[in-house]
């Protein structure tokens, strides 16, 4: 935690007062300057006058829900990083959250410590005023191009066929370059739940990806294994058009 991070501004948007009343002081103690809004319209206004570095946005809210607020924010050219707090957490809901241009999302009921960790991670990879990878249609890393809309991957111009799960794993890895992602986190993001001892399911998909991308586990170009911790995408990822 450096001095600069201490003064980062976070806008917390949730209609449940019980949540904001407890979460705001917690975030403040974690070193952030916090403002609170209770609905989407107020959130959009506060995004202008409070100029937050990051917005934590609940999806289900009265008047203007989180998804619509996020859409309007992005349409007005505001690229402030957003972490969505999702409720239903079904796979389609999660895919939608990322499609709308959220930088990350967290399922309720989350651990507050996890939220702080996510806020720090998103702030670390964001550059002010620049659209983040989360809103990009395509992700590119050298010859590897992942088309998020067409759900297609090409390597040096040639199409690579993958299972739907493996595609989602690669997408999530490329959206979080240089970040250590635990198997549990990948399970939660791609499979949608964490079930006991299923971390092997992640390993199976990573092996499939490595085979498809000709990536050597010993000297990886793309996916690195961190023993006891998880996986990390080590290539440089750029947003393509």
Contacting residues toward another protein, per CB under 8 A: 16, 18-19, 21-23, 25-26, 29, 85, 87-91, 108-113, 163-165, 191-198, 200-201, 204
Nearest approach in angstroms of CB 186 to another protein is 12
Which CB atom, from 19 or from 145, has the smaller least distance to another protein?
A: 19
Nearest approach in angstroms of CB 151 to another protein is 13
Q: Which helix (H) or strand (E) holds 235?
A: none
Q: Quick check: 215 and 155 in contact, CB under 8 A?
A: no
Nearest approach in angstroms of CB 15 to another protein is 9
Nearest approach in angstroms of CB 105 to another protein is 14
Q: Which residues contact 42 (CB under 8 A, 6 or more apart)?
A: 13
Give, as one character, the DSSP assignment of residue 194: -
Token output for 239: 């947003």
Q: Which residues contact 176 (CB under 8 A, 6 or more apart)?
A: 121, 125, 233
Which CB atom, from 48 or from 194, has the smaller least distance to another protein?
A: 194
Which CB atom, from 91 or from 240, has the smaller least distance to another protein?
A: 91
Which CB atom, from 115 or from 139, has the smaller least distance to another protein?
A: 115
| ω into 72 cis (within 30 of 0) | no
């Amino acid at each position: 935690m450096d001095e600069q991070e201490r003064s980062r501004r976070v806008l917390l948007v949730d209609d449940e007062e019980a949540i904001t009343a407890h979460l705001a002081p917690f975030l403040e103690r974690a070193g952030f300057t916090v403002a609170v809004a209770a609905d989407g319209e107020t959130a959009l206004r506060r995004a202008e006058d409070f100029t937050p570095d990051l917005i934590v946005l609940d999806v289900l809210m009265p008047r203007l829900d989180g998804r619509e607020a996020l859409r309007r924010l992005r349409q007005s050219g505001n690229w402030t990083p957003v972490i969505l707090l999702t409720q239903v957490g079904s796979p389609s809901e999660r895919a939608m959250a990322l499609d709308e241009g959220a930088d990350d999302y967290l399922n309720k009921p989350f651990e507050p410590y996890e939220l702080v960790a996510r806020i720090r991670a998103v702030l670390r990879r964001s550059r002010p005023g620049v659209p983040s990878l989360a809103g990009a249609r395509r992700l590119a890393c050298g010859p590897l191009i992942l088309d998020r809309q067409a759900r297609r991957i090409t390597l040096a111009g040639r199409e690579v066929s993958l299972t739907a799960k493996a595609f989602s794993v690669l997408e999530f890895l490329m959206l979080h370059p240089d970040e250590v992602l635990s198997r549990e986190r990948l399970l939660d993001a791609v499979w949608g739940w964490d079930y006991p001892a299923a971390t092997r399911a992640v390993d199976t998909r990573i092996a499939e990806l490595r085979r498809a991308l000709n990536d050597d586990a010993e000297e990886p170009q793309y996916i690195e294994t961190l023993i006891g911790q998880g996986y990390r995408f080590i290539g440089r990822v750029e947003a393509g058009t």
